[in-house]
């Protein structure tokens, strides 16, 4: 791909990531984005049809960082440095609190919220593959487990945001695991104490 195209795309992504730290996504305009990126409006449209698509591209760069942060997970305990698998997710949300508050709030962007949930379900399905290989008897389809985890994680994130991030990301990750791990492991025929 053309280096100029890639450089401009990175400018647009950086602009979006800067702006979602400054104000709610709904308040960000195309003019804000092109001004922050230092590009022309027509350049923006050569890359993205609208700000929602740029936001998704921007988020994917950050989601990839979160997925990378979970690459050192112990496949048998699903812990990384003695922290639950959801810890990098809660860290990411705390870093982008204003954005997630505006997207996941009651009046937020429902389409984007669904896309985030679907992405989380896909990643959950992939990350739990080692456990599925150990599972003596699956009583619940793995896709349902991944979807349930994703929905519960979004619900926990919403609650955490509504309470002003009172708990640390680490505390939230442990609470999330405490709530869900026993049932998930039981549905896979695995003892949650092992």
Examine the pLDDT at 1 and tell me if it is beyond 80: no
Q: How many angstroms separate the CA atoms of 86 and 153, rounded?
A: 8
- Where does CATH 1.10.10.60 sit in the chain? 1-49
Residues 6 or more apart from 67 whose CB is under 8 A from it?
123
**pLDDT higher than threshold 90 for residue 62:** no
Q: What is the mean pLDDT of the chain?
A: 89
Q: Nearest to residue 185, comparing CAs of 78, 31, 47? A: 78
Q: What is the pLDDT of residues 6-57, one digit of tens each?
A: 999 999 999 999 998 898 888 999 999 999 999 999 999 999 999 999 999 9
CATH, domain range 1-49: 1.10.10.60
**Tens digits of residue pLDDT in 81-133:** 889 989 999 999 999 898 888 888 766 678 888 899 999 999 989 888 887 88
Q: Residue 165 corresponds to which tokens in the numbers above?
A: 């991030």
CA angle 89, 96, 100 (to 5 degrees): 85
- Provide the 8-state DSSP code for 154: H
Dist CA 146 CA 103 (whole Å): 22
Confidence of residue 194 (pLDDT cuts 50, 70, 90): very low
């Amino acid at each position: 791909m053309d280096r100029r195209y890639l450089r401009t795309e990175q400018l647009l992504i950086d602009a979006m990531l800067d702006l979602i730290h400054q104000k709610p996504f709904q308040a960000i305009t195309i003019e804000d984005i092109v001004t922050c990126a230092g590009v022309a409006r027509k350049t923006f449209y050569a890359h993205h049809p609208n700000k929602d698509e740029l936001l998704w591209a921007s988020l994917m760069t950050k989601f990839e960082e979160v997925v990378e942060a979970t690459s050192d997970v112990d496949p048998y305990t699903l812990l990384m440095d003695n922290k639950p698998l959801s810890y990098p997710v809660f860290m990411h949300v705390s870093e982008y609190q204003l954005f997630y508050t505006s997207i996941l709030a009651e009046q937020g962007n429902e389409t984007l919220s669904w896309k985030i949930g679907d992405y989380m379900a896909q990643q959950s399905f992939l990350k739990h593959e080692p456990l599925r290989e150990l599972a003596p008897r699956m009583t619940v389809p793995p896709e349902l487990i991944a979807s349930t985890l994703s929905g519960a994680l979004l619900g926990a994130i919403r609650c955490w945001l509504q309470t002003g991030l009172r708990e640390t990301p680490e505390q939230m990750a442990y609470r999330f695991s405490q709530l869900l791990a026993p049932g998930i492991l039981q549905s896979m025929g695995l003892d949650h104490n092992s």
